[in-house]
Chain A
Amino acid sequence: MFRQKDQVVIIRFLFLSVILGAMTASAVGSFSIPAIDLLSGSLTELQRTVWIEIRLPRVILSGLVGASLGLSGAALQGLFRNPLADPGLIGVSAGAALGAAVVIVLTSDLFIPSSLELFLLPMAGIIGASMVTLLLFIFSKGFGYQGVTYLLLIGIAVNAIASVGIGILTYISTDSELRSLTFWTMGSFGGVTWSVLMPAMFLMILSFFFMLPARRTLDILQLGEIEAYRLGVDVKKVKYRVIFSSAAAVGASVAISGMIGFVGLVVPHLARLIGGVNHNYLLPASAALGAFIMISADVLARMVMQPAELPIGLITSAIGSPFFLWLIFRMKKRDY
């Protein structure tokens, strides 16, 4: 089995891959920036502008969103003791989307200072995501094993409610609002600028640091809530910590890059396959693996149909949904 030492090596390797992946991703695209020029610093003025103003924020955003989704997926699966918990499937992303859509459509008529406005979108996403996660927790309480299916059913309901909300908002939105709405239900990292990225980046990184201290208690929680109490874990505190930090991470990412499905489901399972299930390893590994996968998927999205772009959500769902089916199949065999 996996020893702690191996796990440290795996985590280091994953983080190294993220850095290398990010460098490669910032070099490739319809406008080529040779990696050698990038490293030696001999870029032309145009290359530098493209790199700093377009590529870099995009790569950073995709990495952060991947890390957010991977990390939240791992933590939510641990908290709910449910291998199928995924921010998208259980409706957290939809809640965030609804929150953000409300802001996009309803606040354009109001006058809001632009510095505040940049924070408003991720904050609305976070509020939407927190509300859904809290709701899930209240509803799924005391359902024990049925909880696995129950949680997904609630997710379907929440997703439906959110899509009604977004549908209504689409109806009353203007043309330009509509365009940003549709573009963003599919998910995309395109057109991100530093000014949009900064506040969300701040919130996401904050949520990572808030989440990580829960890693040992998430392990203990696997014994069940009562056992965790008996082992001296303040269960309520852990719950709130995980719920709010995952909601913040997911909310902020959905608010600026749209709904990107299945990453939160697939990444933690891959990370478990690579190096083990204890959260001390799983949380950082899922964050790094999520970042790496998302950066790669975004490169794919940019390269496949050059100069056009595929929505990133399409790619992740294309890979993730068969995986989801496989997971259900495997669970059925195990008879949870």
Chain B
Amino acid sequence: MTIEAVSIDVEIDGKLLLANASLEIVPGEILALVGPNGAGKSTLLRTLAGDLKPTSGNVFYDSRNLNQLSVRERAIPRSVMSQTQPMIFDFTAREVLQMGWLHADHNYYNEYFESAVDNLACACEIEQLMEQKFNTLSGGEQKFIHFARSLLQLWAPDDLKDNRYLLLDEPVAGLDMGRELHMLNVIKEHAKYMGVLIILHDLNLVARFADSVLLLEEGQILKAGPPHAVFTEHIISNVYKVPVMITQDPLTIRYY
């Protein structure tokens, strides 16, 4: 059971943004989407999220065609984190985080609500920000709140074994080094039981955290596979037009 894209094309205003792309997001794995600017990474993610309808091809959530799922049915198994618009009114960080709770309209899971929120706040180390106004937080802090919100959206009771998927569009952009690693560690932790698709620009981080990589160039999937197979000096310097050297670093991180 996976999120699966089967040969999707996306064409907007006569421009082919994505051609014949297929991929699979598997629970328990982190799939990284890499490629130069304008390669179609965000387009692919948005198509998988259901924001965009593919011109041809299909997206399946656990073998069910995305077209046939209601907005609500899409929201339960997958959440998305991407660039967000600023908040107009002075919501507190806690209120923003709580917007990720999908079970507010029924009461089955009320007893878990507080602890689910608190656990995520703890994992993301944002407890001390919770009562502050969201708009007064720094960009990086706001990112963490949104990140926690998208995790809260995927909350499920322990006895429910349904699949969960997390789609992340450059979640670490603008974070400092420490925060960057922190967020990726939280993602890694959650990836034990959910499928993760992540767009990252830093190939070092990809090499360190991703289980597999999808390299996009001009709307086409150029190469897919585990990081060491995709990241060869030849491929990377061709795609990014910069000379690179790949070495093994002391922490077994691949460097280019």
A164, CB-defined interface residue at 8 Å: no
Give the docked Cα–Cα distance between A329 and B84 (Å).
26
How close is B95's CB to chain A, nearest CB, in angstroms?
5
A82, CB-defined interface residue at 8 Å: yes
A220, CB-defined interface residue at 8 Å: yes
A233, CB-defined interface residue at 8 Å: yes
The segment from A44-52, A113-121, A169-177, A223-231 that touches chain B is: A223-231
A163, CB-defined interface residue at 8 Å: no
A231 touches B89 (CB 8 A): no
B159, CB-defined interface residue at 8 Å: no
Size bin of chain A's contact surface: 20 to 34
The B149-178 residues at the A interface (CB cut-off 8 A) are 153
The B98-138 residues at the A interface (CB cut-off 8 A) are 99-100, 102, 104-105, 131-133
The A173-194 residues at the B interface (CB cut-off 8 A) are none
Interface of A is mostly: loop
A336 touches B88 (CB 8 A): yes
B88 touches A231 (CB 8 A): no
Give the docked Cα–Cα distance between A336 and B72 (Å).
32
Taking CB atoms, residues of chain A closer than 8 Å to B132 are: 1
Given A216-B104, A216-B105, A278-B95, also A230-B80 (CB < 8 A): yes
B6, CB-defined interface residue at 8 Å: no
| Number of A-B residue pairs having CB atoms within 8 Å of each other in the complex | 70
Partner pick for B92 among A1, A223, A224, CB 8 A cutoff: A1
Taking CB atoms, residues of chain B closer than 8 Å to A277 are: 89-91, 95
Given A220-B99, A223-B85, A223-B99, also A232-B91 (CB < 8 A): no
Give the docked Cα–Cα distance between A223 and B79 (Å).
14
Partner-A contacts on B (CB < 8 A): 49-51, 70-76, 79-80, 84-85, 87-92, 94-96, 99-100, 102, 104-105, 131-133, 153
Q: 30 A–B contact pairs at CB < 8 A?
A: A1-B94, A1-B131, A78-B89, A81-B88, A83-B88, A83-B89, A216-B105, A219-B91, A219-B99, A222-B87, A223-B84, A223-B87, A223-B96, A226-B51, A227-B84, A227-B85, A229-B51, A230-B49, A230-B50, A230-B51, A232-B71, A232-B72, A232-B73, A232-B102, A233-B71, A272-B90, A277-B90, A277-B91, A277-B95, A278-B95
